[in-house]
Amino acid sequence: MQANGAGQGQDSELSCLNNAQNGESSSGGGAHSNGLISSANNGNSASTDNGVPPSGTSAASNATTSGSDTGSTMKKKKRFSQADEDVIRLIGQHLHGLGLNQTVDLLMQESGCRLEHPAATKFRNHVMEGEWDKAESDLNELKALMHSPSAIVRMKFLLLQQKYLEYLEDGKVLEALQVLRAELTPLKYNTERIHVLSGYLMCSHSEDLRAKAEWEGKGTASRSKLLDKLQTYLPPSVMLPPRRLQTLLRQAVELQRDRCLYHNTKLDSSLDSVSLLLDHVCSRKQFPCYTQQILTEHCNEVWFCKFSNDGTKLATGSKDTTVIVWHVDSETHQLKQLKTLEGHAYGVSYLAWSPDDTYLIACGPDDCSELWLWNVQTGELRTKMSQSHEDSLTSVAWNPDGKRFVTGGQRGQFYQCDLDGNLLDSWEGVRVQCLWCLSDGRTVLASDTHQRIRGYNFEDLTDRNIVQEDHPIMSFTVSKNGRLALLNVATQGVHLWDLQDRVLVRKYQGVTQGFYTIHSCFGGHNEDFIASGSEDHKVYIWHKRSELPIAELTGHTRTVNCVSWNPVLPGLMASASDDGTVRIWGPAPFLDSQDSEGLNGIGFVCPLDE
């Protein structure tokens, strides 16, 4: 098949044919000059009202006619750069996918380009029509155009596999068996897959075959998928990757979102959800850095706050001996007091929700030897645990099964208990500062007085060093995927560690961290952000990849002890302070048309209220 502007004797190089004659007409019948077969006849008589001649009419002839009035002669075509050629082909492929085949003809004709190599076009058509013998024959022609001729075997295997499955679906078992024995097996490629394919001979009906083979069945859908796989073995100069323009546009949008410091909404890979005419920018006014509510029900320092896993509740613990559970309105994002849990004589410095949010465990400061396990739904105390008056139970973490928890403190206690406070296991001599259970249900991470985080396995009683700092680790938390740990390190600030590679990833700047216990957190969609309290009365927020803060939230008047980001509502955050208040942070209350303006930099201070 001859592409427009290409002579029969030209080689297979897929560059624009710059010396092509403008007067060439498109090829007749169903085949288009771009080398592709039309999926639908767009009409033999195209309108020229818009000034564009119909397919088959020389665009240049019109130009010549109009130019003859001025006596001008036709100029030679502009020589396109490689980038221009690529863009023309990408546009052509996209238009072809939209069914605008006459437009593609005109574009290829006027530019002197061709969309893909004629051999690739022939191969595509034979695959889509299920003419497997012809498609297999086409591979010999394509072999000379490929960088890796050995890939022909893999392509042939994929073709024959489709041929075999289609025979089976049509009930042609003997023909399928012949393909398996005489065509697939002699390739001596992927014998394990051949054994699996042979098992499909036992399928009783086509539905069973499609289910077991995870295959769409004979037709356009499965053949299109096959073609996408086959294309990966062909150079893009021979056949463009499928939907290449959409892929590039999607990558551009994702890159812009990735670079957007304030992007805090669910990632949507669909191009329909964005405008391609503007760069992606999120306004800082859409970010949770404005005080929405100040909770003043505690009557002393508030040491801890934590949203429930489902995001519907917030628990706050205070020096005033109470825990207050708040309900989060999912629409207004306003918090309302739900329950007050009393009787924690030493105050409440740490809280942990059970995985299903049914229970809440409260721990006290260093001199507290007791632990309280509350049923949040009923407000009843299920367990009050104390192994010894000499204990110090200051930290706790739930096992993912919700039936066990670990607790410990700096006096050397490290216990695993059930919901009734019964001791299941203990680890002697570990002075625990903070705890976390990994999702494997076996490994417990514990920071200790030796400025390290170690992993402890209660099943086989093994332990290993994971993180080693040069200063005391006051607290730490772990990302949902268990890969990253966020540490508040005395006199150093907030550090991000990779637990798998056991390396320090980043040190975040700005926060004031002495020897107070301050709890930081991951937050936002995909946990792209990090927030921490500070001894300078501020809340600091960083993008995970940036060492400089993107927001400094003012309003508290004393040390901010803890920050918690709602895991379900990414625009909602809470902070607890020694000033006796809990602040709820959200986007600006009123967004105007200027909110989509670009950002001038990082490191701003959000006002208290607007």
Domain range for 216 is 116-239
Where among 183, 207, 239 does a domain terminate? 239
Decide: 194 and 183 in contact? Cβ < 8 Å: no
Residue 332 inside a domain? The answer is yes
Residue 442 and residue 517 in one domain: yes
Residue 227 and residue 328 in one domain: no
Whether residue 255 is predicted with pLDDT greater than 90 in this model: the reply is no
Whether residue 329 is predicted with pLDDT greater than 90 in this model: the reply is yes
Decide: 519 and 486 in contact? Cβ < 8 Å: no
Residue-wise pLDDT for 436-487, tens only, equals 999 988 899 999 989 999 999 988 888 899 999 999 999 999 999 999 999 9
Residue 320 and residue 215 in one domain: no
Residue 600 inside a domain? The answer is no
Residue 294 inside a domain? The answer is yes
Residue 98 inside a domain? The answer is no
Give 181's contacts (C-beta < 8 A, 6+ positions apart).
none
Residue 461 inside a domain? The answer is yes
Residue 318 and residue 460 in one domain: yes
Residue 157 and residue 214 in one domain: yes
Chain centroid to Cα 364, Å, comes to 38
pLDDT band, residue 172 (cuts 50/70/90):
very high
Residue-wise pLDDT for 69-105, tens only, equals 444 433 445 678 889 989 999 999 999 889 998 999 8
CATH number, domain containing residue 493:
2.130.10.10
Q: How far is it, in rounded angstroms, from Cα 406 to Cα 426?
A: 9
Residue 290 and residue 191 in one domain: no
Residue 178 and residue 297 in one domain: no
Query: Residue 347, SS3?
Result: coil
Give the pTM: 0.68
Residue 129 and residue 192 in one domain: yes
pLDDT band, residue 267 (cuts 50/70/90):
low
Residue 176 and residue 291 in one domain: no
Q: At what angle do helices 118-128 and 220-231 cross, to 10 degrees?
A: 150
Residue 581 and residue 479 in one domain: yes
CA geometry: angle 367, 372, 376, nearest 5 deg:
145
Residue 299 and residue 225 in one domain: no
**What 3 state SS string does 72-93 have?**
CCCCCCCCCCHHHHHHHHHHHH
Residue 307 inside a domain? The answer is yes
Residue 561 inside a domain? The answer is yes
Nearest to 377 by CA among 322, 311, 325: 325
From the DSSP assignment, how many helices (H) and strands (E) are in the chain?
Answer: 11, 29
Residue whose entry in the numeric block shows the structure tokens 């008589």? 45
Residue 299 and residue 228 in one domain: no
The pLDDT of residue 45: 39
Instruction: Output the average pLDDT for the chain.
Output: 83
Residue 289 inside a domain? The answer is yes
Domain count of the fold of the chain: 2
| DSSP state, residue 312 | S
The pLDDT of residue 64: 40
